[in-house]
Structure 1
Amino acid sequence: MRTEINGNQVELMTGDITRQQTDAIVNAANGSLLGGGGVDGAIHRAAGPDLLEECKQLRKDFLNNEYLPTGEAVLTKGYQLPAGYVMHTVGPVWSNSGNEPGLLANCYQNSLKLAKDKNLSSISFPSISTGVYGYPIEKAASVALETIIEFLQDHHFGKVIMTLFSEQDYQVYSRALKRVISD
Structure 2
Amino acid sequence: METRLDRHIVVKVGDITQEDVDAIVNAANPSLMGGGGVDGAIHRAGGPDIVAECRQIRKTYPDGLPTGEAAITTAGKLIALHVVHTVGPIYGDNEDNDAALLAACYVNSIAIAARSGSTSIAFPAISTGVYGYPREEAAPIAVKAIREAVRRHPTMTEVRLVFFSEDDAKAFLEAARA
SS in 2 for 1:87: strand
- Contact (CA 8 Å) 1:145, 1:176: kept in 2 or not? no
How big is the shift at 1:93?
0.3
**Using the alignment, how far apart are the partners of 1:67 and 1:155 within structure 2?**
27
Tell me the CA shift for residue 13 of structure 1. 0.1
- Equivalent residue number for residue 101 of structure 1: 99
* Partner residue in 1 for 2:42: 43
2:51 match: secondary structure? helix
What is the DSSP-based 3-state SS (H/G/I as helix, E as strand, rest coil) of the residue aligned with 2:35? coil
Post-superposition CA distance 1:90-143 (Å, at most 9, x none): 000011741100000000000011111122100000000011101111111111
Cα deviation, 1:43-62, whole Å, max 9, x if unaligned, reads 000001221111112212x2
Stretches (4+) displaced over 4 A: none
Give the CA deviation at 1:152: 2.3
In structure 1, the partner of 2:17 is 18
Residue in 1 that maps onto 2:167: 168
Which residue type is aligned with residue 151 of structure 1?
Answer: A
Checking the alignment, whether the CA contact within 8 Å between 2:110 and 2:150 is kept in structure 1 is: no
RMSD across aligned positions (CA):
1.3
Aligned-partner SS, 2:78: coil
What is the aligned partner in structure 1 of residue 112 from structure 2?
114
TM-score when normalising by structure 2: 0.93
**Out of 128, 134, 154, which is 2:132 matched to?**
134
Aligned counterparts of 1:137 and 1:165: Cα–Cα separation in 2? 14
TM-score, normalised to structure 1's length?
A: 0.90
Tell me the matched-pair count: 174
How far apart in 2 are the matches of 1:153 and 1:110?
13
Structure 2 residues not aligned, in runs of 5+: none
Measure, in 2, the Cα distance between the counterparts of 1:103 and 1:82: 29
